[in-house]
A and B are shown apart, each in its own frame.
Chain A
Amino acid sequence: MTTDTNLKTGHKRNEGMAFDPDFFADIRVNRSAVERRTATLGTRRSVKKQWQAAWLLKAVSCIDLTSLSGDDTPGNVMRLCAKARQPVRNDLLQNLGMAGTGLHTGAVCVYHNLIPTAVKVLEGTSIPVAAVSTGFPAGQISMEQKIKQIELSVAAGASEIDIVISRPKVLTGDWAGLYEEVKAYRQACGEAHMKTILATGELATLTQVAKASRVCMMAGADFIKTSTGMEQVNATLPVSLVMVRAIRDYYETTGFRVGFKPAGGIRQAKQALMWLILMEEELGTDWLKPDLFRFGASGLLGDIERQLEHFVTGRYSASYRHPMS
């Protein structure tokens, strides 16, 4: 059994299980019912005042601060990393009673070429560097190239790898093929944690999402992640609900806790709270920590900072009052 060294948490790392169609073949997801549940998640629960501030700080700690652009340079990635180390203004943290807690984001997420920069800037912190891989975002390159990419990124110092699955395997029902593919990625990752991007916006149905989630967990995913952020539709609550229910199912079957990462389109503090509520309600407090929950987001932090300042001062805040990344 491998223990989790990277994230220093108590839980066992997912070892996967043998490919077993019985575990997912009969799964059916009722879209309307799922939508009804997600429509009331945010109306059944509400966090206010210091609870809201604490929950937003928790959200900050779960953000994979991300920059995935063609024009990323060492310069802006350096700024990104600095923001990851100090995501919220110190005076605010002091007012919130959180000074000295070492609050930082969950990780920094970049393309392969920027790994060395990030690793260097984050040296001495416990902030992991995550790299997107396997032909991100479309995944339309050869398997050899994909494996190689993972190996190179791990060698460059990434301790988290966000891989994309081959959507054609889902769409054509090649579940065994998907299993083998993801298993190979996991092997290539070695000690690095693997987040498996389903690109749910391209999987057509929630039932497919439910099946793909299970297959990826069977193959050893440490996290399952909704989207690359580049699909037409990215993280939605219904898709997330289906995925976290799959995580619960897998946990109940194997005892392994798999993490969840919604990505793309989460820009507001209020939205972040909805996802935290989703995790709390469907999986419980264990999953409200960065070792099992991440937001893939670039704009979210800014809105949270403004909300936190509002909590502290009672006045509505402006984005220029917060240091940019």
Chain B
Amino acid sequence: MEIKKIFDNMEYGPAPESPAPALDWLKMHRGKFRLFINGKWQLPAAKKYFNSENPSDKSHLARLAEAGSKDVDKAVNAARKALPGWQETSPHERAKMLYAIARQIQKHARLFAVLESMDNGKPIRETRDIDIPLVVRHFYHHAGWAQLRDTELKDFKEIGVVGQIIPWNFPMLMLSWKVAPALAMGNTVVLKPAEYTSLTALLFAEVCEQAGLPPGVLNVLTGSGKTGALIVNHPGIDKIAFTGSTEVGRIIRKATAGTGKKISLELGGKSPFIVFEDADLDSAVEGLVDAIWFNMGQVCCAGSRLLVQESIAEKFYAKVKARMEKLRIGNALDKSIDIGAIVAPVQLHTIDELVKTGEAEGNRCWQPSTPCPPEGYFYPPTLFTDVPPSATIAQEEIFGPVLVAMSFRTHTEAVKLANNTRYGLAASIWTENINLALDIAPQVKAGTVWINCSNIFDAASGFGGYRESGFGREGGLEGLYEYVKPRVEENLSDKAFSLPKTKVKKDDLPQAVRPEIDRTAKLYIGGKQSRPDGGYSMDVHSLSGIRLGEVSKGNRKDIRNAVEAAHADSKWAAMTGHARAQVMYYLAENLAVRKNEFANRLALMLDTGIPAAMTEVEAAISRIYTYAALADKYDGRVHHTTFRNLTLAMPEALGVMGISCPDEWPLLGFVSTVMPAIAMGNRVVVIPSEKSPFSATDFYQVIETSDVPAGTLNIVTGNKEELATVLARHDDVDGIWYFGTAAGSKNVEMLSAANMKRSWVNYGNFRDWLKPEQGEGELFLRKATQIKNIWIPYGE
């Protein structure tokens, strides 16, 4: 075009980044790649290959090997074989290795960026300025953690062989989020990149070779979901880390249930982007561009639901539309575009179908006049306004450049709408009022809350979901826990620990067996003793079979009522740590008053002598003290992330938890599991020891005299497995702890998949609850909480 003409119309023109270096790299490999196993490039056993294409222009990029079961075996074996050597490598050596990898990526940064852009369709600006710099930062950050491994995490050891399955939306970034912490902590890895976007993972394998990573420490298997399933189900894998859809996450949860494989899942989202009337609206519009049009909206934490205060809604929509008109769509390698190509036709189809559904349901759809290039898989930025929460597009994750907007009237309503979703990955809050921002942030159910910003990431901060967005964190200290296990768990036993047994004659039984006046052990729900819904009781015997009385036989309706009562309790979670501690000390005080009574009961139920029973009571009192003490001391962190930004990592209570207590320690087991949960602000529904439930039912009176709010602590006696099943299946229960059999553990994990509640089970292994190192500590608090990272940029 003539310069004179451009001078008059001031068009941008094309600004292509050259694909040549990336094409040369592909050519060097003759457009065909093998599997990276045990430090060598190996042919796939079944000799199967699939194609990789460039979504910007549908051009062919490469042939990739499809890893089958033999290849997965080989990779897992290689990782297993490499494990001892890698474990014994000193932290400093591992740190140097991660540092070298970071350096090596940095040296080839542009090649990574171009290749990623061609493979995925995302704008070169994003891979060049965001993805790859974050990848490098992630490896540097974790080189640091590798160095500090034995000092900062001395009570933990590596998990072993880790299977990692990453998505196509951030191929390299998700690789770094998985590989860096795994290697830093001393694990070995079998990595499967997404089938649409494997190229940079293969380049990464080369980089690791160059950096001198020992063979087998990292293995890269290309392939489809089938390959992923083979990794998930492989018995030689100790942990699965997965990022992808909630649907697949659920399959993984079920597939690994009961196996003891640790899993971390980073799944879907429908994250709210909340704009209050006092926000800097122009900046909020720009935040929205980052939220939903970053990476074509193919972002799990995309701000895909715009919630805007009704007073400014129309004005804001007008601004959004004006901004959308300025978005440029085009080939991912063009340096002047905002929106590149959708990764693959199947995704384009999904987006299109959901938009059509949105229109068919009568929602107002708007798209800018900008045309999409015809040669690739493109989708225009799309806005739906005045969408009711009941619309399909307001509930389903679209994973495309489609924004769904609705208005709210009050702050309370904003929170309600924000939380009206099964997901809980992220949220963005826009207001110039810090009081409002910090009031809303804790109320939103999301693992990441961005105040006056969106889609900002850093290696020092954890990232992960609430609810069906998955569990586990990636990044920062909180992310490391996904790649280590407590050393103390190695000492758990497959046999139950118990108090020493002594023979007790019937005539010697304490008074408590046959009280002067009949006592009925009821259920304890919503601060009241209540009769079981079914109207049945069950007999309680001592371990040696002496009939001691009855407890109520709770059923699913009692569990339902207890969960509702727990939700109805708004007091406990709102109390300060100090106030909760006061109540817990009071519990200990009132338990101490009844020490003898509790010891007598324990002696009866467990066929043990009073002194031994007293040991358990004393330990229980001490344990309550421990958690009362910790109630105001389990602090969060302030992460060192980006410039002029406070990133607050706050441990938040899970919400309503179900707890199935260990059978063998009627009082201590109850206290050891319930107290950490409530210390953190959870409300609990407890299934006490089935065999020996009286310590828990006796505990009602301790609760009733200790200022515990109604609904904080609910106790339902009955059949352990049956009640645990109801709790695990309950969609309004946020977390579940199960201490029992291996089969029961599997059951709980399997059923928890439905709403992705956080589960913690013992796989039939037993703790010695008398020992503080096994029976108490920070681990319990960590399991009772999840980290929310709140990003607060500052500066006026």
Contact among B2, B125, B283, B336 for A29, CB-based, below 8 A: B283
B286–A51 touching, CB < 8 Å: no
- List B204-222 residues whose CB lies under 8 Å from chain A: none
- The complex places the Cα of A36 from the Cα of B286 at a distance, in Å, of 9
Binds A, one of B10-18, B135-143, B296-304, B517-525: B10-18
Q: Is the CB of B4 within 8 A of A45?
A: no
In the complex, A33 has a CB within 8 A of chain B: yes
- Chain B residue numbers with a CB within 8 Å of A245 are 282
A321 within 8 A of B: no
A32 lies within 8 A of B125 (CB): no
A46 and B283 alpha carbons, distance in the complex (Å): 22
B283 near A50 with CB under 8 A, answer no
Which of the residues A37, A54, A207 comes within 8 Å of B6, measured between beta carbons?
A: A54
For the complex, is B396 an interface residue (Cβ under 8 Å from A)?
Answer: no
A266 at interface, CB cutoff 8 A: no
- Chain B positions within 8 Å of A31 at CB level: 795-796
| Contact status A44-B796, CB under 8 Å | no
A38 to chain B, nearest CB (A): 10
Q: Does A8 contact B (CB under 8 A)?
A: no
Cβ-defined contact, A98 with B283, below 8 A: no
With contact pairs A33-B286, A33-B287 given, residues A51 and B452 touching in the complex (Cβ less than 8 Å): no
The chain B residue with its CB closest to the CB of A246 is B282
Secondary structure of the B contact surface, majority rule:
loop
Instruction: State whether B432 touches A30 (Cβ < 8 A).
Output: yes
In chain A, positions 1-52 with a C-beta closer than 8 Å to chain B are 26, 28-37, 40, 43-51
Given contacts A30-B452, A54-B6, contact A47 B125 (CB under 8 A): no
Does B12 lie within 8 Å of A47, measured CB to CB?
Answer: yes
Q: How far is the CA of A34 from the CA of B282 in the complex (A)?
A: 9
B4 touches A97 (CB 8 A): yes
| A288 at interface, CB cutoff 8 A | yes
B103 at the A/B interface (Cβ < 8 Å)? no
- Category for how many chain A residues contact B: 35 or more
Interface string of A278-292 (1 = CB under 8 A from B): 001100010010000
In the complex, B335 has a CB within 8 A of chain A: yes
Q: How many whole Å from B593's CB to the nearest CB in chain A?
A: 56
B280 adjacent to A51 (CB under 8 Å)? no
Does B793 reach chain A (CB closer than 8 Å)?
Answer: yes
Which residues of B502-529 have CB atoms within 8 Å of chain A's CB atoms? none
A residues near B129, Cβ cutoff 8 Å: 40, 43
Point out the residues of chain A lying under 8 angstroms from B30, CB to CB.
none
- The smallest C-beta distance from B343 to any residue of chain A, in angstroms, reads 21
Contact A44 B125 (CB under 8 A): yes
| B3 engages A32 (CB within 8 Å) | no
Bound: A202/B606 CA distance, A: 79
Residues of A within 8 A of B5 (CB): 54
Q: Does A53 contact B (CB under 8 A)?
A: yes
CB < 8 Å: which of B3, B645, B793 contacts A54?
Answer: B3
Q: Is B644 an interface residue (CB 8 A)?
A: yes
How far apart are the CA atoms of A281 and B129 in the complex, in Å?
A: 20
The answer to the question of A78 belonging to the interface, with a C-beta cut-off of 8 Å to chain B, is no
Q: How far is the CB of B182 from chain A (nearest CB, A)?
A: 32
B633 an interface residue at 8 Å Cβ cutoff?
no
Please name the residue on chain B nearest to A39 by beta carbon.
B129
- Please tell me which one of the listed residues A29, A98, A288 contacts residue B10 in the complex, with CB atoms under 8 A apart: A288
Contact B12 A37 (CB under 8 A): no
Q: Provide the bound-state CA to CA distance between A53 and B9, in Å.
A: 13
Q: In the bound complex, do residue A285 and residue B15 qualify as a contact, i.e. CB atoms below 8 Å apart?
A: no
CB-contacts of B1-45 with A (<8 A):
1-7, 9-15
**Does B3 lie within 8 Å of A53, measured CB to CB?**
yes
Also in contact, A37 and B283, with CB within 8 A (given A26-B278, A51-B6, A57-B7): yes
Q: Shortest CB–CB separation between residue A187 and chain B, in angstroms? A: 32
Q: For the complex, give the distance between the alpha carbons of A276 and B6 in Å.
A: 14
A176 to chain B, nearest CB (A): 23
Most central of B7, B14, B796 by chain A CB within 10 Å: B7
Is B441 among interface residues, defined by CB-CB distance under 8 A? no
A50 x B280 contact (CB < 8 A): no
B67 at the binding interface (Cβ < 8 Å): no
Q: Cβ of A53: which chain B residues have Cβ within 8 Å of it?
A: 3
CB pair A28 B453 closer than 8 Å: no
Shortest Cβ distance from residue A277 to the other chain B in the assembled complex, whole angstroms? 9
A contact residues around B11 at 8 Å (CB)? 51
Chain B nearest Cβ from A205, distance in angstroms: 5
- Cβ contacts A157-197/B at 8 Å (1 or 0 each): 00000000000000000000000000000000000000000
Is A101 an interface residue, CB under 8 A from the partner? yes
| Selected A-B contacts with CB under 8 Å, 21 pairs | A29-B280, A32-B795, A33-B284, A33-B287, A33-B452, A35-B795, A36-B453, A37-B286, A43-B129, A46-B335, A48-B13, A48-B335, A50-B1, A51-B6, A51-B12, A51-B13, A51-B15, A58-B10, A97-B3, A101-B4, A276-B10
Binding site for B on A (CB under 8 A): 26, 28-37, 40, 43-51, 53-55, 57-58, 96-98, 101, 205-207, 245, 276, 280-281, 285, 288
Interface set of B (CB-CB < 8 Å, partner A): 1-7, 9-15, 125, 129, 278-280, 282-284, 286-287, 290, 326, 335-336, 338, 432, 452-453, 644-645, 793-796
Chain A to chain B: the 10 pairs with minimum beta-carbon distance, closest first = A51-B13, A33-B283, A54-B6, A32-B793, A28-B432, A46-B15, A46-B335, A30-B280, A54-B7, A54-B3
Excluding A43-B129, A97-B2, A276-B10, 6 further A-B contacts by CB distance (< 8 Å) are: A29-B280, A33-B453, A35-B795, A50-B6, A98-B7, A285-B10
